Amino acid sequence: MVSSYFKPLNIICVVCYIAFMGLALDSRMVDALVLYVAEEHGKPVYITGKIETAALPGTSEQKKPLVAIQYRTRSVKTADTNAADSKEVLPASTKEMAPAKAQPTEGQAPAADVIAMTPAAATIPALAGKKTTSRSETANEATASRPEADYQPPDSNENSPSALAYIEAISKNKWEYASLLDRYIVKYDDQTYIVLTIRPSLQKMLEDVFKKYSTRIGAGIIQDPSTGEILAMTSSHRSQTLNILSKEYKTENWALRPTFPVASIFKIITASAGIDSGKTTAKSSFLAWGRTYMTVWKAFANSHNGVYGRIARKAGRSVVEKYAEAFGFNKPFFFDLPVDKSLASLPSNPTKFGQAAAGLNRDFLVSPIHVAQIISTVLNRGRTMKPYLVDYVVRKNEIIFRRKPFQLAQPIKVDTAKDLYKMMYATTAVGTGKRGFGGYSRCPNLSKICGGKTGTLTGASPNYLYTWFGGFTKATGRDLCIVTLVGQKNHSGTKASSIAGQIAYELYMKRHEKKAPAQVAKKN
């Protein structure tokens, strides 16, 4: 016999069920579904629920916080349409819900996804016709142009798949190049296709740059830090780049594998912990060697391990650990393609802790896509945006979904992000990245319009010497995040900063060549 304690709960469940069934008969229900994300056995679990706050506190049984996510759909025939497309999504059991305005709080677990329907949708031309190799889209056009027109409401009895179903489709379905759109697409069904954020012109440029250099392993990413869009992403093995239209691009892409030592990229976390907590400033000085002191910003530019070990010990292990988690370490990484979590477990021994905080722990593993998210957080004034590949979805030549940039968290204050941004400039101007961004006669000031952080450390999977560059360029007139990773047998090979410098130079020349001949002639 059921105890009296559970009787009120049963009554509530019955009421919610009746309310849900009533809504299910209304074809206009569910303008927005709200999902909560938790981790179970290292994988995200999606659960629908009432939207009252974006971040829910954990319970004794569920120590990790749940994070609200949202997406908007067109009208659907029945309420369980969205749930049917994903086995992990449970039916909604609440009244009609409006999209959330609240953002996740600092340091919480990342949300899984947001796709939003804009108030206007564009009519897209049919993709029939022969393919072409034309890649006329420029970097600025790539990040700015979006089709817009008057929105036409859908047929009331037309079923609309879940946004999660579209995301899942890009992992399973074949990618294609649509010449009329000059974009990569994924066909969902005979009448529906998904348009990806990757710009073919930028993708080709990124691949061509990696082909110029001899590398054992290579990965490169160009990301819009303000939205999270992945504009280009490549992976190479023994100087052979993966074909973006191949199945291996989604399953064997080095850019998505967290098997590489984070190296001195972790100094961004340590600097954030010290500056953001008020334990230090960018102009503070620490003992470097002997009786010589070095400022925090200069030690960042020159990647001085001793100074950053001391910064970490002054901030404290618990503080550095807090910021590592706030930047996404040891948490599920939510992306439109599968990406495992990055790992960083700080040692309790003071000496080993200092070494690890300086980036000398080979067990601190990260993926290039995660490094791009870290860099983009700094560029975006401390706001972490969810990285994504699905741009919009077209059905019967009308846009039915458009991605809405979504802030996952704000691990650092705006002023801290500004300090780190200035420190990144020093890396390419006077620090360890200067050589990679120098020597371009047609753009002698390239190092001054770029910035970042370098890293070097031997890894085990595969066993190579890895070099990193995680940074940005203003070569296109606005900040673009650039991340490059190179694995070589030894120090004699090409470094990641050299490839990043070449990418920044190509972006600069692309913009420079857009100018009218008369304007160029005057400046010459």
Give the Cα separation of 458 and 456 in Å (integer).
7
- Give which of 416, 287, 270, 291 is closest to 354, Cα–Cα: 270
Alpha helices in 155-304 (DSSP H): 163-172, 200-211, 248-251, 267-276, 296-301
The pLDDT assigned to 7 comes to 54
Report residue 487 as tokens.
Answer: 């694995």
DSSP state of 343: B
The pLDDT assigned to 39 comes to 54
Report residue 473 as tokens.
Answer: 């360029």
Establish how many alpha carbons lie within 13 A of residue 511's alpha carbon, considering only the half-sphere containing its beta carbon: 17
Q: Is 54 a residue whose pLDDT tops 70?
A: no
Distance of CA 437 to CAs 20, 314, 452, 503, Å? 60, 33, 11, 10
Is residue 320 a contact partner of residue 346, using CB atoms and an 8 Å limit?
yes
Q: Is 63 a residue whose pLDDT tops 50?
A: no
Report residue 14 as tokens.
Answer: 């019955």
The pLDDT assigned to 493 comes to 87
Amino acid at 290: G
- Give which of 425, 491, 498, 499 is closest to 456, Cα–Cα: 491
Give the pLDDT band of residue 78 (cuts 50, 70, 90): very low
Q: What digits encode the pLDDT tens for the residues 394-440?
A: 999 899 989 889 999 999 999 999 999 999 999 999 999 999 999 99
Over residues 331-359, mean pLDDT: 96
Give the pLDDT band of residue 41 (cuts 50, 70, 90): low
For the chain, the average pLDDT equals: 78
User: Which DSSP string do the residues of 111-171 spell out, in sequence order?
Assistant: P--EEE--S---B-----S---------HHHHHH--------PPPTT-----HHHHHHHHH
The pLDDT assigned to 221 comes to 98
At residue 377, the 3 state secondary structure works out as helix
Identify the H or E element spanning 466: strand 465-473
Q: Is 461 a residue whose pLDDT tops 80?
A: yes
Q: What digits encode the pLDDT tens for the residues 210-233?
A: 999 999 999 999 999 999 999 999
C-alpha dihedral (81, 87, 90, 96), degrees to nearest 10: -30
Q: Is 97 a residue whose pLDDT tops 80?
A: no
As a whole-number percent, the residues of the chain with pLDDT over 70 amount to 67
Amino acid at 362: R
Give the Cα separation of 152 and 233 in Å (integer).
34
Amino acid at 405: P
The pLDDT assigned to 164 comes to 86
DSSP state of 60: S
Q: What digits encode the pLDDT tens for the residues 101-136?
A: 333 333 333 333 444 433 334 556 566 444 434 443
Q: What digits encode the pLDDT tens for the residues 4-17?
A: 444 555 555 555 54
As a whole-number percent, the residues of the chain with pLDDT over 90 amount to 63
Q: Is 51 a residue whose pLDDT tops 70?
A: no
At residue 507, the 3 state secondary structure works out as helix
Is residue 112 a contact partner of residue 37, using CB atoms and an 8 Å limit?
yes
